Amino acid sequence: NVNVVIPYYGYSRQDRKDYSRAPISAAVIAKCLESQNIDRVIVFDLHAGQIAGFFSNRCPLDNLYCEKYIMSYIKTNIIANLNCNDGRDEVIIIAPDEGAVKSAIRISTRLKCAAATIFKSRIKPNEIHMMKLMGDVKGKIAVMVDDIIDTGGTMCKAADLLIENGAKEVYMLA
């Protein structure tokens, strides 16, 4: 058997058509991989889950999640270092955009701490028009969690927003 392990699936943001007659690049990569007669593809944290549907039954795709490692890091390096009861009251998990909300909620629920999100609108790619915090971070340690960082613009502006709203520390995990 030939199993291909891909830590980062290239073109994972190109999972749909942006304009007429445009290629769906994530699907093209899937076809290229399948044409090599491989038996299975293993990836980590696909940006868009529907990419798994681009692979046939002949070559299944396994999407593994890194959330448990992120949670372990937060428990060991952030919560455990706090000088209060169990530290969970001081930590808030932040979704830096709408795409990260599900993951942030899963992590915060398992860690038994609060969660918040940031609403973001763009004028064009890589240019943020507005960001609005939805939640209370005052006096808390904010931990932003996302699946991918491209230019870092969103995370940097989000960190500034969190500090402006009273977060005492900001961590970024991706």
Which sequence positions are flagged as catalytic? 120
DSSP H or E segment with residue 46:
none
Where does residue 158 rank: exposed (0-12), middle (13-18), buried (19+ CB within 10 A)? Answer: buried
Q: In sequence order, what E strands does 10-167 have?
A: 40-44, 61-64, 91-95, 114-124, 127-134, 141-145
For the CA atoms of 156, 161, 166, 170, the dihedral, rounded to the nearest 10 degrees, stands at: -20
- Adjacent-strand bridge partners of 144: 94, 172
- Under DSSP, is residue 108 helix (H, G, I), strand (E, B) or coil? helix
For the CA atoms of 80, 116, 14, 22, the dihedral, rounded to the nearest 10 degrees, stands at: -170
Structure-block tokens of residue 39: 């038996």
